[in-house]
Structure 1
Amino acid sequence: MKKSPHRPTRAVIDLSAITYNLEQVAYHLPQEVEKWAVVKANAYGHGAVQVARALLPQVDGFCISNIDEALELRNAGITQDMLVLGVSDVQVVDLALRENIVLTVASLEWLERLKQTGQELTGLRVHIKVDSGMGRIGFRNASDINQSIASLTEAGSLVEGIFTHFATADERDESYFYQQLNTFKEILAEVEDCPLLIHASNSATSLWHQETIFNAVRLGVVLYGLNPSGEVLSLPYELRPALQLETEIVHVKAVPKGACIGYGATYEAMEEEWIATLPIGYADGWTRDMQGFAVLVEGERCPIVGRVSMDQITIALKKPYPLGTKVVLIGSSHGKEVSATDVAVYRGTINYEVVCLLSDRIPRLYP
């Protein structure tokens, strides 16, 4: 999607907040634990290249979803280790070798397909993924892991890490979390030539289960100042939200009682009202279900009235404001705040989705 820098809608990213958040987490971890920053999905909507550059002095490597995200960082001159967390197409192994990108091996079947391609595997760096109960990708028993490690080592590959992912580390009920942890430990105990780097801790585990950390952590949403649990668990220490989503009023009008606003005429003015139009809509990731939510105009909460359109929304004002007045959709204004979690609660989703859905049409600014 084409960026729209000439439109007043923008996401303002505070990189110092991101580096601060990493410092906060690192302070509460054992010094020897490696820290890997998760910058997949364009760094959760914050801008992968800019975030990675800001974090370079603080992290041991970066985690991404697929090899194309890794190549974006490589092309930007970032040389640190990169781990692709997902299953890669076997045809990209040559590319991973050339660019020194670490791949995830998640099944014997994938490894067999890789062998059938006849590609050179000497020097290929990999981590083994264990499915301890997440149910997505990964080995479910040590026997298959041992077979895979032996096969990869024989082919000259470097099996450098082994990891799993927790499904409920951000919930109050810890029973399934510890069930997964025990499963992972049991599998590790049966791995004959266990890789040196062992990681299971995501943002939530690093915050609330520090006693279960192995020798590396993968830090994702916590870097961006968001609570992984939403409103379920309180943060153990301060984090600073890094993203502010803002726009400006581009049109203001007074409408009489009975006037209808937007597609479907779903809003009718109960009295004479001031209505402002903002240049943001569901094509920007401000989804259609946000009708009724409030944005901030000079610290005043103003409701979204009428349906969210593809490119525009309309809000009800308490008084007329001049064109160009700043409006905050996520962030702070005059001492008031709307958080990504507030948006998520209104939508019935999670704050991860809110920031990841912000489309490329919105420019990211780094003041």
Structure 2
Amino acid sequence: MTENYRPTKAVIDLGAIEKNLAAFKERSQGAELIAVVKADAYGHGAIEVANRAVESGVQFLAVATPDEAVYLRNHGFQTKILVLGATPASFLPVAQKEEIAVAAISLEWLQMAAAAVEPGLLPLKIHLKVDTGMRRVGVLTEEAPIAIEFIRQHPFEFAGIFTHFATADEESGELFQRQVREMKSVIDQVDDPQVLVHVSNSAAAIMHPELAYGAVRIGISMYGIAPSPYVEEKMPFKLLPALSLETEVVHVKKVKAGETLSYGATYRSEKDEWIATLPIGYADGMLRGLQGQDVLIRGERMPIVGRICMDQCMVRLNEQVPVGEKVQLIGKQRDGLVRIDEWAEKLGTIPYEIPCILTKRIPRMYH
């Protein structure tokens, strides 16, 4: 067992993930849940999250890449697995052997797949991706009838059909409504109960339960993060954040008035100040743009001052504290709370990105 000597760690509450999934199960009125564990489960740890999802009754996992799918199979997962992104010809015989479903993302891809599959193996499981508005991958709506017919005429298993909404996390506008209409017209052409229909991501599952169809894909909100401020305001149930980030003070010193801190001398103390050094930096995913972000010490907010270094950063204290004092970077401490959303706002990005940028150097601890 590897021992972690540095006190910096991400703590993952698997119970929160289980409760979030249960809330989505109830919201989706019996539709199957597809737990999206791509990108190492959005930085939370794919194996541990997938294990808890399966233990809680989920029997369908989704990933972004072929390698992520094989990784799950190699760790013993026998559930249904779907690769949401592009897959090369070289992977398709592996997908047949491992019973991994893949996304058909274009008419050209289907032609390639028909030539690449190995006879004698199980039919390749295909979920047809329909591009109703994202313009990322997928057959266009007008191409869907051709794709459906092609799948049925070749040695594939037509396992599912899906799309992805571009603006489901915003107040419903013309693009969302157009995507819904286009996808419904395609679904009507399938007319086969054996083909699993899944169109909803987390935001759509929250805001539009009537679009649950056969399954819903739960990604970011499985981890307790709302897809957008708009959705968070409208939430019909409470999401429980799964990730917290913590460390300890490793050094404390009193800095005199007028002295500068860290690279570039961008911070100058206005008076004598107690400064604590924390063992976390941009190599851990605590990017330099977080200068000025608050952390929690003894439940009180205290700001990061000076430029964040590769491995360390400094915090201005309200009072002297000892080495070893606990520091909460994300999450709750006493009556204080630092939300992932704060980091996202500070960095000019979305909350999805924050757990994904926390590097492997930060160990994940589970409870």
Helix, strand or coil for the counterpart of 2:131? coil
- 1:75 Cα deviation from its structure 2 partner: 1.4
> How much does 1:81 deviate?
0.3
Aligned residue identity for 1:50: E
Alpha-carbon distance in structure 2 between the residues aligned to 1:99 and 1:122: 9
Q: Which amino acid aligns with 1:82?
A: I
Q: How many angstroms apart in 2 are the aligned matches of 1:34 and 1:72?
A: 23
Task: Determine if the alignment matches structure 1 residue 11 to structure 2 residue 10.
Answer: yes
Structure 2 counterparts to residues 204-219 of structure 1, below 5 A:
204-219=203-218
Partner of 2:279: 279
Match of 1:35 in 2: 33
Q: Secondary structure at the match of 2:139?
A: coil
- Asked whether the 8 Å contact 1:82–1:101 carries over to 2, the reply is yes
1:308-350 Cα distance to aligned partner (Å, 9 max, x none) = 1111111100111111111111100011100111211222211
The residue aligned with 1:298 is 298
* Cα distance change of structure 1 residues 355 and 230 upon mapping to structure 2, 3 Å threshold: farther
- Counterpart CA distance in 1 for 2:117 and 2:82 is 23
Question: How far apart, in 1, do the equivalents of 2:116 and 2:158 lie?
Answer: 20
- Kindly provide the amino acid, as one letter, of the partner of residue 69 in structure 1: E
Aligned in 2, Cα 1:41/1:275: closer, same or farther, shift over 3 Å? same
Q: Which amino acid aligns with 1:316?
A: R
Q: 2: CA distance between counterparts of 1:285 and 1:27?
A: 35
C-alpha deviation, 1:52, in angstroms:
0.6
**Structure 2: how far apart are the matches of 1:296 and 1:263?**
23
Q: In the TM superposition, what are the counterparts of 1:52-201 in structure 2 within 5 Å?
A: 52-56=50-54, 57-117=56-116, 119-120=118-119, 122-142=122-142, 144-191=143-190, 196-201=195-200
- Alignment correspondent of 2:337: 337
- Cα distance in 2, alignment partners of residues 364 and 193 from structure 1: 43
| TM-score (structure 1 length as normaliser) | 0.94
Equivalent residues of 1:4, 1:361 under 8 A apart: no
Deviations along 1:237-289, one digit per CA (max 9) or x if unpaired, are 11110111011111111111111111111101111111111111111111110
Quick one: structure 1 residues 175 and 146, their matched pair in 2 at CA, closer, same or farther if it must change by over 3 Å? closer
CA distance in 2, matches of 1:129, 1:111: 11
In the alignment, is the contact (CA less than 8 A) between 1:295 and 1:302 conserved in 2?
yes
Q: Deviations over 1:196-236 (max 9, x none)?
A: 21110000001111122211100011111111113664122
**Which deviations, in whole Å up to 9, do the C-alpha atoms of 1:139-185 show, x marking residues without a partner?**
1134x333333333333210110000001111124332112111111
- Give yes or no for contact 1:170–1:233 (8 Å, CA) kept in 2: no
Residues 147 and 173 of structure 1: CA distance in aligned 2, closer, same or farther (over 3 Å): closer
- 206-215 or 266-275, which deviates more: 206-215
Distance 2:144 2:305 in 1: 56
Count of aligned residue pairs for this structure pair:
363
Give me the whole-angstrom Cα distance separating, in 1, the residues matched to 2:7 and 2:104: 44
Q: Secondary structure at the match of 1:86?
A: coil
Whole-angstrom CA distance in 2 between matches of 1:43 and 1:230: 22
State how far apart, in whole Å, the 2-side matches of 1:187 and 1:123 are. 23
Q: Does 2:236 match 1:268?
A: no
Aligned partner of residue 186 in structure 1, secondary structure:
helix
**Are the equivalent residues in 2 in contact too, given 1:122–1:155 (CA < 8 A)?**
no
Per-residue deviation, residues 16-44 of structure 1 (Å, max 9, x unmatched): 0000111112122212x111100111111
- The aligned amino acid for 2:92 is V
Q: Please name the residue that 1:318 is paired with.
A: 318
Cα deviation, residue 134, structure 1: 0.9
Kindly tell me: are residues 315 and 355 of structure 1, through their superposed partners in 2, closer, same or farther at Cα, counting changes over 3 Å? same
SS in 2 for 1:351: coil
Letter in 2 for 1:41: A
Provide closer, same or farther for how the CA distance between residues 81 and 232 of structure 1 changes in structure 2, counting only shifts above 3 A: closer
Q: Distance in 1 between matches of 2:347 and 2:216?
A: 30
Distance verdict in 2 for CA 1:117–1:243, change over 3 Å: same
Q: How far 1:116 moved relative to its partner?
A: 4.3
Structure 2 CA distance for aligned equivalents of residues 312 and 4 of structure 1: 20
Identity %: 44
Long gaps (5+) in structure 2: none
Contact kept, 8 Å, 1:46 with 1:364, in 2: the verdict is yes
Contact 1:70 1:84 in 2 (8 A): yes
Q: Judging changes above 3 Å, is the alpha-carbon distance between structure 1 residues 231 and 265 closer, same or farther for their aligned structure 2 residues?
A: farther
